[in-house]
Amino acid sequence: MADMTSQLKDWRFSVDGEGIAWAIFDREGESANSLGRRPIEELAAIVERVEADARAGRVKGLVIMSGKERSFIVGADIREFESFETEAQVIESLKPINAMLDRIERLPVPVVAAIHGVCVGGGLELILACHYRIATRDDATRVGFPEVKLGIFPGFNGTARSIKQAGPIAAMQNMLTGAMIRASTAKALGFLDQLVNSPGELHWAARKAVLQKRKSQPAGFTKVLMTKQPARGLLAKKMREETAKKAREDHYPAPFRLIDLFEKHGGNLDTMKVEETKAFAPLMVSETSRNLRRVFRLTELLKNQAPKKMTWKPQRVHVIGAGTMGADIAGVCVAAGMEVTLQDISPEQLEKGIKAQGRLFAKKFKTKALKDAAKARFIADPEGKGIARADVIIEAIVEKLDIKQKLFADLETKVKPGAVLATNTSSLKLADIAAPMKDPGRLIGLHFFSPVPQMPLVEVVQGDATREEEVKKGAAFVVAIGKFPLITKDVPGFLVNKVLTPYMFAAFERLEKGEDKEKIDE
């Protein structure tokens, strides 16, 4: 086969003076790297070139890096998933990919992955086929297998390779939950081998790893024992019980099929690779996966409602009202790295609201230093001193029009220019709340759903007088705290509750006809 590395579009390939080959993934016309058909074909051409050069003694090793500033590889290109209609098509499409990853694994020279930013799904499966993995300690660097959220599980032989590298408990837990894990945790678990402090250090660390012929160590003997019977069967049983608490098998079959795969074939990883493809194919063409991919595309559309380039960056938030909703909003903002002042007329409620966020911080932050830093950013502010410094002020008090009107008329005189003024109302019109304000165009709605830490959607409500710029800032703030902005008009029920209403009416009709309320609720 002719050398195709001079015609690459999605990769940059070069061999330096020391004989180290560099493959830089920089997908053409895309803001992030995803493994579509062309990038995979081009990587296969690079692997073939390195194989030939290694045999001839011209290449000492291969380094795989990303040409994107913020991410490594965000997974397979799910836009291409829609072309698969049959299991046979899926199986045929996976053959060349898995063959290529096997070739990477078998290369006679070191293959080093140098990672900064998100490395998930197919990206993680690719680096697991490499011989050594280096990543930045940056908080933006995360690894994981989110496939289960799309109704599938890893299909590039990542099931077997992750078990080989991290052991069955860590690997299966990661695949079953779809969690994104920080670089330090990933190294401790065995997914990564080395950490560096900054992206600028990756090049030299990778060079050194190649020249020293470093090789990752697979999971130790104790972890390997868990892949043998009867331990494997007991582990699978426990996983199945825990998964059943979170998802119904008939609705979400993927995690249960993954457990089946591990239980039957986890003792022989070569067999597991073959069986992975057979179990993966029916999931890929299932209605569940198609529907979950649609949900994913819709969430991406929601994210895109926030402006991509905006100089305004929210760093300080002031929340008025320390009830469950207000305190949870404040806690989520703190967890996103912002400084938050929380105001309430009741000292007891203020103390209770702040204390309640301990559970969120314990889940979000794994070290005492990070938890202490979060607590330091969370400030009780009964007098509202933080109002003047805040970039975003959110009201979450009682649903009484006159009280809200008085509050916003007063806030308008205290906030700094450019600050966002928002109400969390779910039942009152923005136009009515803003009526006494000198500049009603400043007021937006930020309607959160309970429980705030779990619910990903926030309605950004635009009143008749609300300026477009304020809505854009509201959407940018929602994305900054890790949620999805849904811009909606100021109409009764906004959008979500408006959509929910027919379901509620239908439920009450069935209840009146004598149907069991627990059955309706189920």
Active site residues: 447
The 8-class DSSP code of residue 441 comes to G
Cα–Cα distance measured from residue 148 to residue 171, given in angstroms and rounded to the nearest whole number? 13
Helix or strand holding residue 12 (H, E): strand 11-15
Overall residue count recorded for the chain in this entry: 522
Quick one: which of 95, 93, 91, 4 has its CA closest to 47?
A: 4
Quick one: which of 355, 342, 354, 428 has its CA closest to 385?
A: 342
Quick one: which of 462, 458, 459, 460 has its CA closest to 490?
A: 462
Q: What angle do CA 217, 193, 110 make, to 5 degrees?
A: 70
The 8-class DSSP code of residue 148 comes to G
Instruction: Please give the C-alpha separations between residue 435 and each of 72, 111, 392, 431, in angstroms, as whole numbers.
Output: 49, 65, 20, 6
Within 10 angstroms of residue 50's Cβ, the number of other Cβ atoms is 25
Which class for 298: exposed (0-12), middle (13-18), buried (19 or more C-beta within 10 A)?
Answer: exposed
Cα–Cα distance measured from residue 472 to residue 458, given in angstroms and rounded to the nearest whole number? 13
3-state helix, strand, coil in the chain (%, to 5): 50, 15, 35
Dihedral Cα 208, 214, 216, 220, nearest 10 deg: -130
Residue the block writes with tokens 């975003």: 392
Within 10 angstroms of residue 420's Cβ, the number of other Cβ atoms is 24
Which class for 194: exposed (0-12), middle (13-18), buried (19 or more C-beta within 10 A)?
Answer: middle
Strands 180-182 and 142-144: antiparallel
Interhelix angle for 269-284 vs 287-303, to 10°? Answer: 80
Cα–Cα distance measured from residue 62 to residue 180, given in angstroms and rounded to the nearest whole number? 27
